[in-house]
């Protein structure tokens, strides 16, 4: 029997960061309102990019990366990263909620699907 893979909530290393990023994106998109907004928006690629950048920023913040390093790795301005992390953007708020849900589920994506 294969062990269950949990999303790392406090990532250590790049692979953990990537796994948390993916877990955050999936959790956000599993939210019915977020999915409806994604479908309804006219600028779908811009909206999805904002969600992905916010997920990347949050995952790296949880790994202890400084804002300057996050901005450099994600090729975004430090102001953009700070705004996502502070919840001053809709994408930032959505991803903070996704992280909260992951924490409540103990990093188990299957529990979020239930």
pLDDT in tens, the chain (114 residues): 556 789 999 999 999 999 999 999 999 999 989 888 888 888 888 999 999 999 999 999 999 999 999 999 999 999 999 999 999 999 999 999 999 999 999 999 999 877
pTM of the entire structure?
A: 0.92
Separation of alpha carbons 26 and 19, rounded Å: 11
CA 80, CA 34: separation in Å to the nearest integer? 20
Q: Dihedral sign for Cα 59, 62, 65, 70, please.
A: positive
pLDDT for position 3: 63
Asked if 107 and 24 touch (Cβ cutoff 8 Å), the reply is no
Ordered by start, the domain boundaries in the chain are: 14-109
Q: Which residues contact 74 (CB under 8 A, 6 or more apart)?
A: 53, 56, 57, 60, 81
Torsion of CA 51, 57, 63, 65, to 10 degrees: 170
* Confidence (pLDDT) at 107: 95
> How far is 81 from 94, CA to CA, in rounded Å?
14
């Amino acid at each position: 029997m294969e062990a269950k893979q949990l999303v790392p909530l406090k990532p250590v290393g790049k692979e953990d960061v990537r796994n948390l990023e993916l877990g955050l994106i999936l959790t956000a998109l599993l939210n019915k309102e977020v999915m409806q907004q994604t479908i309804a928006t006219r600028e779908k690629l811009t909206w999805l990019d904002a969600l992905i950048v916010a997920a990347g920023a949050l995952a790296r913040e949880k790994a202890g990366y400084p804002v300057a390093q996050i901005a450099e790795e994600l090729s975004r301005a430090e102001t953009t990263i700070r705004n996502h992390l502070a919840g001053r953007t809709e994408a930032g708020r959505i991803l903070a909620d996704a992280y909260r849900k992951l924490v409540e589920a103990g990093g188990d994506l299957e529990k979020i699907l239930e």
